[in-house]
Every structure is written in C-alpha cells, then in structure tokens.
Amino acid sequence: MTLHIFGSLNMDLVCQTPRLPVPGETILGTEFTTVPGGKGANQAVAAARLGAAVRMVGRVGNDAFGQALIQSLQVEGIETGDVQIEAGVSSGVAAIAVDTSGRNHIIVIPGANGRVARSDVERLSARLAPDDTLLLQFEVPLPEVMAAAATAQQQGVTVIVDPAPVRNDLPEAFYGLVDWLTPNQVEAEQLVGFPVADQKSAAAAAKVLRQRGARAIVIKLGAEGVWVEAADAAFPVPAFEVPVVDTVAAGDAFNGGLAVALSEGVSLLEAARFATATAALSVSQAGAQPSLPTRQAVEALLAAHIG
Ligand code: RIB
C-alpha cells in the first residue's frame, strides 16, 4: 500500500516579520531562512513521518534548490525516482512572510512545477495499485492534475485533493474524480461562492461540493477545527489547543495525516482526529517540512486527549 504524491516542490524563502505589510508599505523583518516546502512535497514528508511508504512525482529545476528539495525527500525515505530535473527553468520557490502571531502571506513562483506534463502522469499511472492513495494539489498544471485523478480512479486508487491554491476555473468533471476534497475556509468560500465562517456554514458548503460530485469533504477551519461530510456521516472535529508559531504547511500536515489514517482503515472520526492532531503539531513549529510531526508525537497528542 503506497501513498503517491503528484505535485509541487518549492524552496520556501521565509521572512519573519513583526507584522504583515499592507500594500505599498516597506517594513523591516527580523530573520530570513530557506526551508524545503511546496504543497506536494510537504504532504509527502508529512505522510512519510507518519510511517507510510511514499512515492513522489514532480519536477525541479537543474539548480541548487532542486538538489536540496530532492534530498529533503530522500532523507525521509521517500522514493524520488520520478522527480524529474528540468533544464532551463528554476525550481519552484515560495516567498513567505510570517508574523509573530504565525499568520502568513505566500507567493508561489511555480518554475519547474509548471512543466509537469502528461509524461509524468504516465509514470505515475504505471506505479499505481488498487489499494493505494493519491494526493493532489493545485501547484502543478490542472490538466495534469485531472489526468492523474482520472487514471487513479480507473485503477481503484483513493484520490485526495487539496484545492490549493484555489482556482475558479474547475470544470464540473473535476469533482467526479475526487474521493476526498479538503479545502480550507478561504478555499471553500471561493469554491461555493458564499461565506464559510463556522461549522454551520462549512456544513452547507460541504453539501454543495458533494452535490457537484466529490464523494467526501473535509473543510479545514483552523482554530475552529474541521467539518467532515461523507455519504453516511457528517460531523465537526474540534481543533487541539496548541501555541501557534507558524501556520505554513498546516493544511499539508492535515492532508498527510488524513491520507495515512484512511489508508490504515480507521473510522472517519479517528482519521479526522489523527489529521487534526498532525496539523496542530505542525503549527507549533516554524517552517514547512521542519514543522511536520512524527507518528510518535501525533499518537502522544491523541493519547493525552483521550478520557
Ligand atoms: O502549504 C504550504 C506551502 O505552500 C509552502 O511550503 C509553500 O511552498 C507553498 O507551496
């Protein structure tokens, strides 16, 4: 049973700042770091640290960032033979500002991620087996994301899509390819076209997204927890209370945790709690991949909150 990630690898260029600037403003920050990230690679690392066998398909540039991004996956035991090194383009980068409350602004320059092509889908397709899981995001081209979802569906693979960065050009056919769609609050609002501010509005949004064809929905509401909506269950899961240092990659941590738990066959409630605990631990550490917790840490947090 393998978790496949078809998606992005970015080097995160992170500026710590007392507060986020407003448009037109220059402010002095406090620290600069380069940290391996990218929604695809983060979800791969999250799943690997939780104990899954993980393969990554994607592209990096022929530059120092590309080498570092591949190495950051390899040290986690992730299979990277299908991460292509692309000549003539930079690796993906993300310019990130993080304030002292852990809030962030992120601008992604796709670089080599934008060169992901049908040949990558074919490589992925050849590796899939019926009990596997595929995790997708929107930092590589949409036609390839949809082709990857379609081949996975044909092969009986569970498809989990993190619709980030959110897009307003999704064809109706997209939703029918998705087993689990996991927008955050902002993404859910943009997908459904009405405000999503709490569990009640998240439940309404989840119903709309299921009516479009996605089989199950998790709406991630940050400190408010998540709303889970599937064919035979609909329920909220509260967030764990943790000190917030940096929310970058919290959604990726959640998706890695959800994929691992679902692939292990636990109940929906247990899977959602496992994913919520994974995300909680990630926000209490700085950086994308450095913040992703181990299985032991997630199980300890869950155990501390039982009974
Ligand atoms: O989800 C967090 C990620 O978004 C960062 O690591 C950054 O690379 C962007 O892709």
Amino acid present at 176: G
Ligand 1 proximity of 140 Cβ (cutoff 6 Å) = no
What is the chain's alpha carbon radius of gyration, rounded to the nearest angstrom?
Answer: 18
* pTM metric for this prediction: 0.97
Q: State the pLDDT at residue 94.
A: 98
Ligand 1 proximity of 256 Cβ (cutoff 6 Å) = no
Judge whether 161 and 134 are in contact, CB under 8 Å: no
Q: State the pLDDT at residue 103.
A: 87
Per residue in 190-200, pLDDT tens?
A: 999 999 999 99
Is 198 a residue of the active site? no
Question: Nearest C-alpha to atom 2 of ligand 1 is from which residue?
Answer: 249
CA angle 88, 90, 96 (to 5 degrees): 165
What DSSP string describes 79-143?
EEEEEEEETTSPPEEEEEEE-TTS-EEEEEE-GGGGG--HHHHHHHHHH--TT-EEEE-SSS-HH
Query: How far is the centre of ligand 1, averaged over its atoms, from the C-alpha of 41 (Å)?
Result: 9
What domains, with CATH codes, occur in the chain? 3-9+38-91+113-305 (3.40.1190.20)
Per residue in 50-71, pLDDT tens?
A: 999 999 999 999 999 999 999 9
Per residue in 121-179, pLDDT tens?
A: 999 999 999 999 999 999 999 999 999 999 999 999 999 999 999 999 999 999 999 99
Q: State the pLDDT at residue 52.
A: 98
Ligand 1 proximity of 38 Cβ (cutoff 6 Å) = yes
- CA distance readout (Å), 47 to 167, 238, 268, 290: 25, 22, 17, 13
Q: Is the pLDDT of residue 307 over 70?
A: no
Question: Nearest C-alpha to atom 6 of ligand 1 is from which residue?
Answer: 37
Q: Cα dihedral angle (61, 65, 66, 72), rounded to 10 degrees?
A: -160
